[in-house]
Amino acid sequence: MKYIVIVPDGMSDYPLEILSGKTPLSAAETPHMNALAKEGVLGRVRTVPEHFAPASDIANLSLLGYDPAQYYTGRGPLEAANQDIPYTANDVIFRCNLITETDGKLADYSASHISTQEADVIIKELNKRFENLGVRFYTGTSYRHLMVVPGGREQELEKLACTPPHDITAKPYKKHLPKGPRAEFVTDLMEKSRAFLSELEVNRVRIDLKENPANMIWLWGQGIKPRMEPFKEKFGKTGAVISAVNLINGIGKLIGLKVVRVEGVTGYYDTNYQGKAEKAVEALKQVDFVFVHIEAPDEAGHNGDVRMKMLCIERVDKLVVGPIMEKMKGRDFRVLITPDHPTPISVRTHTDDPVPFLLYGKDIKKGNFNCYDEFEAEKSSLFVEKGYKLLELLFGENPVL
């Protein structure tokens, strides 16, 4: 038996007036997912436990079968695992966004999705400027990078209250700077970066090209080294993870999943959807389970772009779901399709609402559903309160009674 989980990040949404009361998922053309819904079952799952922020790290830990209350120590160390960044149990790792600040407001959480090549120039400059403070910056992908504070745990920096930058787009940033003991150490770094990043040649060129400059860093998502139970020991299955996002690959690496690299993946609208599908099927020749994560719908939600969100959902259906199902014909398998969390167009950030899931495959009893969307899933009596138990449903001998 083979098991496939497809996660269109942030795909779930609220009804929109511009779509005549439909959501982007229900308005999009998704013939492959709808066909699976007619032969499988729908339900809803709460991926974000009470008292946790609705973040991708929390939600995807749940979807991979790990209780955030037991395993979560922060976003930064999860991403660091994917990059093999050296750090000790006493270090604190922060996520470092390259952002655009304009007139005291956080104008763009991604600096127009700056390229990794441009970002690397900025990260090197940050290391040069802040070398005397002992912190280390590491280049990630696009706007997503990391900062390690050696011995930061002694200062209790992991306890700071930090705000994700995508939650405060177009808002005055100073109200949302980190708060708590020793917060001034982190806020000073952020403010000092603003003083010199604008003058870098790479940002002057971006301004000339009418692109948002990466003129400030935003530090958040900090944490300490986690202890994770291996996936094979926990579920008795080998597995692989496919994603453009360091966070997802980092979680995969920490739990012993094979991280499958796909050429041309970007974590944005233009990612290599079909390449992910091809690599997923190829990986299943060697492993039992594959987790395919697609970031694009989430980015469209953050940008408030309803047309693009629908287009990204349609690409997932046509270029990921369709090809995987075609290649798996005649084989014993089950597939689970679910967002990790909603990223509604109307609020442009994550929410903790339950998300709709679709379960299809061998020994999955057919329900009475016409399509796959939020409205149809609400008709189902199947509700998984604890998101980390959803994989048990996928793997179970009697997954749907």
Domain boundary among 169, 188, 223: 223
Confidence of residue 397 (pLDDT cuts 50, 70, 90): confident
Element holding 190 (H helix, E strand) = helix 183-196
Q: Are residues 388 and 253 in the same domain?
A: yes
- Over residues 83-97, the pLDDT tens digits come to 989 899 999 999 999
Across all residues in the chain, what is the average pLDDT? 96
195 and 291 assigned to the same domain: no
Residue 12's pLDDT band (cuts 50, 70, 90): very high
Q: Give the pLDDT confidence of 110-131 residue by residue, as tens digits.
A: 999 999 999 999 999 999 999 9
Whether residue 265 is found in the same domain as residue 349 = yes
Looking at the fold, whether 245 and 210 belong to one and the same domain comes out as no
- Residue 293: what are its φ and ψ, rounded to 5°? -110, 130
Share of residues in the chain with pLDDT > 70 (%): 99
Look at residue 400 in the predicted model and tell me its pLDDT. Answer: 54
**pLDDT tens-digit readout, 27-76:** 999 999 999 999 999 999 999 999 999 999 999 999 999 999 999 999 99
Q: Report the SS3 class of residue 319.
A: helix
Same domain? 303 vs 213: no
Report pLDDT digits (tens) over 277-329: 999 999 999 999 999 999 999 999 999 999 999 999 999 999 999 999 999 99
In which band, very low, low, confident or very high, does the pLDDT at 398 lie, cut at 50, 70 and 90?
low
Give the domain extent around 200.
Answer: 82-223
Residues facing 106 on adjacent strands: 101
Q: Which pLDDT value is given to residue 272? A: 98
The total of structural domains in the chain comes to 2
Residue 87 lies in a domain: yes
Same domain, 163 and 277: no
CATH number for the domain spanning 57: value is: 3.40.720.10
Task: Tell me the CA end-to-end span of the chain in Å, nearest whole number.
Answer: 19
Sign of CA dihedral 148, 77, 342, 113: positive
Amino acid at 120: D
Q: Is residue 9 part of a domain?
A: yes
Number of H helices, E strands in the chain: 16, 13
CA distances from 89 to 152, 248, 384 (A): 10, 21, 34
Residue 364 is encoded by which pair of tokens? 């999955």
Count CB-CB contacts under 10 A for residue 380: 16
Q: In the predicted model, is pLDDT for residue 80 greater than 90?
A: yes
At 216, the pLDDT band (50, 70, 90 cuts) reads very high
pLDDT band of residue 401 (cuts 50, 70, 90) is very low
pLDDT tens-digit series, residues 348-392: 999 999 999 999 999 999 999 999 999 999 999 999 999 999 999
Q: Encode pLDDT of 226-246 as tens digits.
A: 999 999 999 999 999 999 999
Nearest to 12 by CA among 271, 298, 273: 298
194 and 278 together in one domain: no
Handedness of CA 372, 374, 377, 382 (dihedral sign): positive
